[in-house]
Structures are given as structure tokens and as C-alpha cells.
Amino acid sequence: METVYRDIWCVACGFDTSARLTDGREVYPNRPDLATVPFWICDLCHNFVGCHHKTKKNRTQPLGCISTPKLKMLRNTIHDLIDPLWKEQGWSRGKIYGTLSKELGYTYHTGEIRTEEEANKIIEIISNIIQNARHSRSV
């Protein structure tokens, strides 16, 4: 099979890397269930990103930039903060993302966070939004 490359932002490298299309056999050798799932890998730092592989139309469309384990952890922290708000507490998901985008000055997507600083800033903004909401409810 011909090797396929695509320019994707790599968080660890700090530039658009020439990512190589691979599959689960390379990045998750102990997960036979992921063997045929596509991934984009950076051959310079060996970090990788998954794809929207469940969509039939473009199953190699990357989920976002190529992240680092540390940034993945921060993204999970962000989801742990945001998700209960709209899943359990009746907040509007669109409104949360809208407020975040407004505060940041650009359209917010968790998958597109490029630096740890950015992730930390987002965590701070969300924490403030939650605190303000609690405060105004208790008044």
C-alpha cells in the first residue's frame, strides 16, 4: 500500500508535521480490536491522532491536531468540567462553547487545542464560568 502523508499540527514538535497514515497495528499493537482503525502518526515524536473513522464518507479525517499525553490529560480535565454541565445540570452545550469562544476570541474545539498553556487558560475560563453561575444562583 502506498504511504499517505498529510500536514497536521503536532503539539510536541510545534509545527505542521508531515503525518503518516497508519493503523492500530502500529500504534496499539496490544489492541487487536483497533487493528484496522486509522491513525495519523508524527514520525519525529511518535505521537499520533485518531480519525473520524466511524463516518463512512471520510474515515481518515483526523480528529484534530496530534497531541501529547500531557495535553490529552488536560483535554480530559476540560471534558470532565464541561460535560456534566450539559449532560447532567441542564446547561446549554452550545452556550457553554459559545461563551468559551467569546472569551478566547476564536471558535473553540477541544480537539484543536494546540498548547498546554491554551488548555490551562481554558480550564481557568470554565472554572470562572462555573463559579459565576453558582454565585448568581445562590444570590
Residues that bind Zn ion (CB under 5 A): 10, 12-13, 17, 42, 44-45
DSSP per-residue string spanning 39-89: EEE-TTT--EEEB-TTSSS-TT-BSSSBP-HHHHHHHHHHHHHHHHHHHTS
Q: In terms of CB distance, is 10 or 119 closer to Zn ion?
A: 10
In the complex, least distance from residue 44 CB atom to Zn ion, rounded to whole angstroms? 4
- In the three-class reduction of DSSP (H, G, I as helix; E, B as strand; rest coil), residue 90 is classed as coil
Q: How do 48-50 and 38-41 pair as beta strands?
A: antiparallel
Alpha carbon of 77 to those of 26, 27, 105, 122: distances in Å? 27, 24, 21, 10
In the complex, the smallest distance separating the C-beta of residue 10 from Zn ion, rounded to whole angstroms, is 3
Ramachandran area for residue 107 (φ above 0: left; ψ -120 to 50: alpha; else beta): beta
Q: Which residue, 41 or 82, is less far from Zn ion as judged by CB? A: 41
**CB of 40 vs Zn ion, minimal distance in Å:** 11
Nearer to Zn ion, 47 or 75 (CB): 47
| Least gap, CB of 13 to Zn ion (angstroms) | 3
Residue with smaller CB distance to Zn ion, 19 or 129? 19
